Structure 1
């Protein structure tokens, strides 16, 4: 396990990086993100240069996702696509009409 140095800010922690680019994610951050070993994380950079670390769910964690009540829909996919196309068309038309004024 890498040695870490606590900073005064409770949301920061310095960890060592090995010559192979490996770093240990501190336990409190693993717990906060729900990361179990072995596991995966996603490093994402925002437009302003901030780097965000996110937990990547395993296939077993995703199992049954579509059957959960908050993920269900009684609307057929074709109708959802039709509504999305109409919405996109309306947005394009509004954009072009405001540019031509």
Structure 2
């Protein structure tokens, strides 16, 4: 299967995987997740066994994060980023779970 095959009435798409383990993320999903090329994504497995693909922000996308009022705190930057990623993940998971 050389071309991606779109399944009717769903938010799923079948894509080919090369012998090197590479797969192309369909444009509509890259757009939806804000993934630019070149870029990075994170694959994580939920407790239910589902694999989630997440956009990993670049350092330039994170620039100015600490200057926002919600980030002005005595918390370590790693804790702030961890909490922000968790909030973003929860929002995204909620959005995708309502699409089903």
CA distance in 1, matches of 2:39, 2:70: 26
CA distance in 1, matches of 2:22, 2:61: 25
1:41 aligns with 2:41: yes
Query: Unpaired runs of 5+ in structure 1?
Result: 78-101
CA distance in 1, matches of 2:34, 2:50: 21
Shift of 1:10: 2.8
1:54 aligns with 2:72: no
Choose 1 or 2 for highest CA Rg: 1
Shift of 1:69: 2.2
Equivalence for 1:31: 31
The alignment covers a number of residue pairs equal to: 74
Q: How does 1:89-100 map to 2 (within 5 A)?
A: none
Q: Indicate the SS of the match to 1:49.
A: coil
CA distance in 2, matches of 1:68, 1:45: 31
Superposition CA RMSD, Å:
1.3
Query: Unpaired runs of 5+ in structure 2?
Result: 76-100
Runs of 4+ in 1 over 4 A off after TM superposition: none
